[in-house]
Amino acid sequence: MKITLLISLAAAAVLAMTDAAPINRRPHGTTNRTLRAGHAIPLTRNSNFKQNTRGHIAKLNRRYPGINILASTGNVPLTDSNPDLEYYGTVSVGTPAQDFKLDFDTGSSDIWFPSSTCTTSGCTAHAQFNSKKSSTYKKDGRPWSVSYGDGSTASGILGTDVVNVGGVSVSQTIGLATDESSQFASGPSDGLFGLGFNSLESVSGVKTFMDNAIAQGVLEQPVISVFMPSVRRNGGVGGEYLFGGIDKSRYSGDLTYVPVSQEGYWQIAIDDVGYNGQSLGQSSQGIVDTGTTLVIVSDDAAKAIHDSIQGASNDPNNGWVVPCSLKDSSDNVSFTMGGTAFNVPLADLAYEDLGDGSGNCFSGVQGGQNDLWILGDVFIKNNYCVFDQGNSQVGIAPLVY
Ligand SMILES: *[C@@H]1O[C@H](CO)[C@@H](O)[C@H](O)[C@H]1NC(C)=O
Ligand SMILES: *[C@@H]1O[C@H](CO)[C@@H](O)[C@H](O)[C@H]1NC(C)=O
C-alpha cells in the first residue's frame, strides 16, 4: 500500500534520528492538552455548481428515509490536540447517529474506527461503532487492514452506512476495526477520515467520501477547505474542515490554484524554496498532507534551509534542531507553488523544546524525504488550503487568523 510505504520512509528517516520528534502523528501517545474548537463560520455558496443535484437528493432521501439530504456545505469544527500535533473533528455515523472523533487526513483515503466487537486496548480506549444499533447499516464483509510506518496496524471488515460531516451525509463504505495495535490506545482520535483520492483506498474499488458526495451532488462545490489553527497564533481555536465550500474570510488575497500532478495523495509541484525571499535553489514534487505534523523535505533542502538559520544544527539524535528563541523571529521560509511563494514563519520551525536545557527545539522542517516532500501541518497552519477534487487542484492562500 502506497501510504504505508511513504509514511514508512518518513518515519524511518526520522526514527533513525530520534524517537521523540513528532514527525508522523499517526498514531501518537500524548493527549493531555486539548483545546475545544468553537464557532460556526459563514459559508460561501456557489450557484455555478450543478450536477443534477435534485435528482440525486430525491433518490437518496428515498433510500435513507431517516435523513434529509440537501446540497449544502458541512462545517466540521476541529480540535487542536497536544499543541498542533493532531487535529480532529466529530463525524456522525449510522441511524441514529453514533459520534466519532476522526483525524481528517489528506494523506490517506480509508475511513475507519473501532467496531464494538473489538476488544483490544487500541479499540476499547475509544468510541466503538455498534452496527446492530444502526438501522441504515449494511454488511459488506470484505476484510480490510491498514498499517503505518511506526508498526501500528488496524484491521477488520468493511461495512456501509450513512456518514455525516457537519450536516452533509452520504452512504459510505467504512472500515470497522476488530483489531487495533496498542499504539492507538493513547491517541486522541477514534480513527481516521481519509481525504485522499480513491487509488489510495486499501481495498481496491472502494469510493471515498468525496467521490460519493460529488457523485451524489450533496456538496455545493466539489471541494474541502481547511482552516488549521495554531496554538502559537490563536490558541488553536476555531479550526474547521469545510466540506463543499470555501471560506473567504480565512485567507488574504486570492487563492493560487496548483494542479494535482498525480492523483492519490494531493501531489503538486514545489518549484522553489526561499529564505526571506532569497531562492535556495531547491524543488521537488510534494504532497499537501493534513495527516503529517511537520514539513518533511529532502536532506539537501533541509540542509539549505537550516544553513540559513543561525544556531541550527543537524543533531544525530534529534534531527534538525533550531534555537527555541526563533519563536520571536519574523523571518520566513517559503515554498513556491503555482508561481506564488507561501511563507512558513521561522517561529513555527521552533516546533518543540528538546527539554534538555540546551535552549534548542526540534525543527518543524526535517529532511529524509528525498522523493516526495510532505507539506504537513506546519505549512497548512500558515496557509489556507482548498482540496478541489472536482478540478484536481489545490488552492492555497496565506491564512488570516
Ligand atoms: C494534564 O492536564 C491536567 C488537567 O488539565 C493538568 O493538571 C496536568 O498538569 C496536565 N499534565 C501535563 C503533563 O501536562
Ligand atoms: C514574513 O512573512 C510575514 C507574513 O507574510 C511578513 O509580514 C514578514 O514581513 C515576513 N518577514 C520578512 C523578514 O520578510
| pLDDT above 90 (res 357) | yes
pLDDT digits (tens, 9 = 90+) for 139-165: 999 999 988 666 788 999 999 999 999
Position 86 scores a pLDDT of 83
Of residues 370 and 130, more confidently modeled: 130
Binding site membership of 331 for ligand 2 (Cβ less than 6 Å): yes
Atom of ligand 2 nearest to the CA of 398: 5
Cell of residue 112, nine digits: 475507519
Decide: 335 and 269 in contact? Cβ < 8 Å: no
Is residue 278 within a helix (H) or strand (E), and if so which, with residue range?
A: strand 278-279
State in Å: Cα 31 to ligand 1 middle. Answer: 10
Q: Are strands 295-296 and 365-366 parallel, antiparallel or unpaired?
A: parallel
Atom of ligand 2 nearest to the CA of 332: 1
Decide: 272 and 283 in contact? Cβ < 8 Å: yes
The percent of residues in the chain predicted with pLDDT above 90, rounded, is 68
* 256 phi/psi in degrees, rounded to 5: -95, 120
37: DSSP letter: -
Where in the sequence numbering do the catalytic residues fall? 105, 289
Choice from 308, 330, 335, 396 to test ligand 2 binding pocket (greatest atom count within 8 A of CB): 330
Half-sphere exposure of 101 (CA within 13 A, CB side): 18
The mean pLDDT value of the chain amounts to 82
> Could you tell me the pLDDT band of residue 53, with boundaries at 50, 70 and 90?
very low
| pLDDT above 60 (res 22) | no
Q: One fold for both 27-233 and 247-398?
A: yes
The CATH number that domain 247-398 falls under is: 2.40.70.10
Please give the average per-residue pLDDT across 94-112, as a whole number: 95
The percent of residues in the chain predicted with pLDDT above 70, rounded, is 81
Position 26 scores a pLDDT of 35
Binding site membership of 276 for ligand 2 (Cβ less than 6 Å): yes
* 299 phi/psi in degrees, rounded to 5: -60, -40
* Right CATH for 27-233 from 3.40.30.10, 2.40.70.10, 3.10.20.70, 2.20.25.190: 2.40.70.10
User: Burial code of 186-225, b = ≥16 C-beta within 10 A, e = fewer?
Assistant: ebbbbbbbbbbbbebbbeeebbbbbbbbbebbbbbbbbbb
- Domain range annotation of the chain: 27-233, 247-398
Q: Is 52 exposed, middle or buried (0-12, 13-18, 19+ CB in 10 A)?
A: exposed
State in Å: Cα 32 to ligand 1 middle. Answer: 6
Position 239 scores a pLDDT of 93
Binding site membership of 32 for ligand 2 (Cβ less than 6 Å): no
User: In angstroms, rounded to a whole number, what is the distance separating the alpha carbons of residues 305 and 268?
Assistant: 20
Decide: 344 and 295 in contact? Cβ < 8 Å: yes
Binding site membership of 332 for ligand 2 (Cβ less than 6 Å): yes
pTM (2 d.p.): 0.81
Position 149 scores a pLDDT of 61
Binding site membership of 252 for ligand 2 (Cβ less than 6 Å): no
| pLDDT above 70 (res 14) | no
Q: Residue 373's closest CA among 286, 307, 245?
A: 286
| pLDDT above 50 (res 62) | no
Of residues 44 and 193, more confidently modeled: 193
